[in-house]
Amino acid sequence: GGRYFTPIINAPEVAIMGVCKSAIEPKWDGKQFAPRLMLPLSLSWDHRVIDGAAAARFNAYFGSVLTDFRRVLL
């Protein structure tokens, strides 16, 4: 199947997050490539209800929480 997609908002939803299949990919750490588990996320939202900057901050925060999974338990 596909690796990425764009979730479609259905009324009365104002936002929806799509979680794609995770995969091990090479990631540059500043010195060399290292294997890293990557989880693509797609967030769609209704711009009439949610400001794009707020949605971008949510995406960044959610990514940081998933990076350090111990934060989920707090």
Q: List, for residues 4-53, the tens digit of each pLDDT value.
A: 889 999 999 999 999 988 899 999 999 999 999 998 999 999 999 999 99
Separation between Cα atoms, residue 36 and residue 24, nearest integer Å: 5
Place of tokens 């290292």: 34
Q: Answer for the pair 55, 15: CB distance below 8 angstroms, yes or no.
A: yes
Per DSSP bridges, beta strands 33-38 and 41-45 are unpaired
Is the entire prediction scored with pTM above 0.85? no
Amino acid 13: pLDDT: 95
pLDDT value at 1 more than 70: no
Secondary structure element (H or E) that encloses residue 37, with its range: strand 33-38
Question: Hey, what are 32's tokens?
Answer: 């060399």
Catalytic residue, chosen from 31, 47, 48, 70, is 47
Q: Could you confirm whether 47 is annotated as catalytic?
A: yes
